[in-house]
Chains A and B, each alone.
Chain A
Amino acid sequence: MDFKTSIRIAFSGLKSKKTRTFLTMLGIIIGVASVIIIISVGAGAQSLILNQVRGFGTDLIAIFPGASEEKGPPPSVFGTVNTSLKNEDIDALLDERNAPHVLAVTYYVQGTGTMAWRNNQLDGTFVATTASYVDVHERRVAIGRFFNEDEEKNMARVAVLGHNVKKELFEELDPLGQTIKIKKQQFKVIGIMPELGVQGFQNQDNLVLIPITTGQKLLLGIDHVSLARVKIDSNENVDRAIEDIGAILRDRHNLRAGEFDDFSIRAQTQSMEIFSSITNSLTYFLAAIAAISLLVGGIGIMNIMLINITERTREIGLCKAIGAKNKNILNQFLFETIALTLSGGILGVFVGVFFSWLVSFVARYMGFDWDFIISILAIGLSCSIAILVGLVFGIYPAYKASKLNPIEALQYE
């Protein structure tokens, strides 16, 4: 019996019972589709996170107060307040002799409070930062201006509004020159930021930017910074710059040899690696769980094939009577199982790709920077597993069929 005939007989066997064939395939369709969707959504989520981190620029180095493991998250992630970093520490990094690769620095503290203009008010977040903020993040105000160094040093009560804050408080009115209240303190609006969306896991449009000293002393009553960012001249100099920054900070904090750092330095590229490894492990873990459904689908297929063989016992008897050898019957039923799982696999790929696209479409519609990524590896792997499932779970029913006695099979009722 030639290969083409085997395939033709296998498919005509499946076609004769369409509903049952479809229901049997469903297990494989769902299994393959789940693997593809999970891997695709995982890759999409990873791209979203990486785009967020990249949005801040890969030539940036972040400095957090408090010590941490090199590969672990900084302590502030766990909500610990650490006061080891001061404004002067970060300003000192601009020393060209000790840190030649540092181009600019900025630092921040952040707080929440009620912001109000006339009768409009909202509970929002203010970020107190330096005048160099716009240079480090390469941002420009959309209307008006950003605060300057004088205002930063002199605790000026000026504010630059995020796009949404402006809309909430002023609607269509011009806010420049108006006075708003942040935590009951009066601030003059001098600029509006453009629409920036979510960056660094924070919607930049919901923030109000004020000078660092004003935020620290007037609104929060502190003298430390919670985060600093350093812009360096080139990506290649990241390691060198981290060393320089570490040396300067250790020197300023009078740390002796053997004493641990009381700060943590992270390059953006490092954060990207950490995020990638976390999302990858999550994705593969979930894909492995989804692959279990392929196994369950395989058991369903074996069950149906056994029923199939019982129903077609007379047919098998006839085929043997007219000269089918054991291997012909074995091949026929094995082909049928593989045709079933392979068709299920191919349908599963289409379903999986469609839903992955739908997820990315909805995510993009909701404003996330989500890439539609379909992994060829995922498609190949899940289809191979589907065929393997067909082989493994098809071999027993096929073997059983091939061993039927032709006379008993012909007389079966």
Chain B
Amino acid sequence: MAEKPLIKLINICKEYANEEVVTKVLFDINLELQKGEFVAIMGPSGSGKSTLMHIMGFLEKPTSGEYYYKGKKISDLTEDELAGIRNQEVGFIFQAFNLLQRTSVYDNVRLPLVYSDKNIGDEAVEKAIKSVGLYHRKDNLSNQLSGGEKQRVAIARSLVNQPEIIFADEPTGNLDSKSGKQIMEILQSLNEEGKTIVLVTHEKYTAEHARRIIKIIDGKIVDDFKVKHQLLAKNENDLTK
């Protein structure tokens, strides 16, 4: 028997309405994601790729359609229940890093544990910081770091709760190419270790670091394929060195 998909979306639609106009962003999205996949959702600005990630990441509810996570229907859950799932099951990496200002690397990484019911000790914080190679800077304040380092802190923060799946929304968008490659290398090694990764990007080059690419245009999936020649950031970084 085939394993249950980690994420299953059936006819997901999303629209935003105000008093004057209704804007449809997603149309009948049907999608399955297996545990351990590295998927890039690719599309131009305004295509709805971030909205799709927000729905998959429990940050937003779809207007219609059904969402199953590990076989459990989650479209009917309350705001607080969704917050619980976000805390336990997923990690987020944002384009703008979203670190707490004037707060140490350590405390930034520890933040998800503040809201967690899991009994995870502070050693998990150190482990997460070590995994992104920033242990020597754990006491530095976030505003003392470079862009690449900030994004690595954000990755460590997304890992601290030992999530099932990591959502990365344009994680290299604000970085130079060297830092961007370092980030991609970390994401690829996390995927090697078994983490499911969903990467949102508008760049073909970045998307080709994933194993599967889902193209989305005007709120509809127009292509969904396995990457034949996955770019390996580690090799690129070795070449740079």
Q: Give the B-binding residues of A (Cβ under 8 A).
A: 1, 5, 9, 12, 16, 314-315, 317-328, 406-407, 410
Contacts and interface: CB of A to CB of B under 8 A. Distances in A.
A319 B111 contact: yes
Interface string B211-233: 00000000000000000000000
Given A16-B102, A325-B79, 19 more contacts: A1-B114, A1-B115, A5-B114, A12-B103, A318-B98, A318-B111, A321-B57, A322-B87, A322-B92, A322-B112, A322-B157, A323-B84, A323-B87, A324-B87, A324-B115, A325-B84, A325-B115, A326-B83, A407-B59
Contacts of B83: 320, 323-326
Contacts of A326: 79-80, 83
B120 interface: no
- Which has the most chain B C-beta neighbours within 10 Å: A318, A321, A322, A406? A322
Interface string B114-139: 11100000000000000000000000
B100 A315 contact: yes
Contacts of A320: 83
28 contacts: A1-B114, A5-B114, A9-B114, A12-B103, A16-B101, A16-B102, A315-B98, A317-B98, A318-B100, A321-B57, A321-B59, A321-B86, A321-B98, A322-B87, A322-B111, A322-B115, A322-B157, A323-B84, A323-B86, A323-B87, A323-B88, A323-B112, A323-B115, A323-B161, A324-B87, A326-B79, A406-B59, A410-B98
Contacts of A318: 94, 98, 100, 111
B60 interface: yes
Contacts of B60: 407
A5 B110 CA distance: 12
B35 interface: no
Contacts of B94: 318, 410
B28 to A, nearest CB: 22
B234 interface: no
Interface string B95-114: 01010111100000001101
Q: Which 4 A-B pairs have the closest CB atoms?
A: A323-B87, A323-B115, A322-B112, A318-B98
B109 to A, nearest CB: 11
Contacts of A317: 98
Q: Which of A318, A321, A328 has the most CB of B within 10 A?
A: A321
B92 A319 contact: no
Contacts of B54: 407
Given A314-B98, A407-B59, A319 B86 contact: no
In this complex, the member of A319, A325, A407 whose beta carbon has the largest number of chain B beta carbons within 10 angstroms is: A325
Interface residues of B, number: 27
A323 B116 contact: yes
Contacts of A315: 98, 100
Interface in B72-97: 79-80, 83-84, 86-88, 91-92, 94, 96
A9 B116 CA distance: 15
Contacts of B79: 325-326
Nearest to B158: A322
A356 to B, nearest CB: 38
Contacts of B101: 16
A223 to B, nearest CB: 86
B79 to A, nearest CB: 7
B168 to A, nearest CB: 13
Interface in B40-87: 54, 57, 59-60, 79-80, 83-84, 86-87
Contacts of A319: 111, 115
Nearest to B88: A323
A17 to B, nearest CB: 9
B47 to A, nearest CB: 16
A7 B98 CA distance: 22
A401 to B, nearest CB: 14
A171 to B, nearest CB: 71
Contacts of A1: 114-115
Nearest to B89: A323
Contacts of A322: 86-87, 91-92, 111-112, 115, 157
Nearest to B169: A410
A407 B53 CA distance: 11
B18 to A, nearest CB: 13
Given A406-B59, A407-B54, A321 B92 contact: yes
Contact of B115 (A12, A328, A406, A410): A328
A313 to B, nearest CB: 11
A290 B141 CA distance: 42
B77 to A, nearest CB: 13
Contacts of B80: 325-327
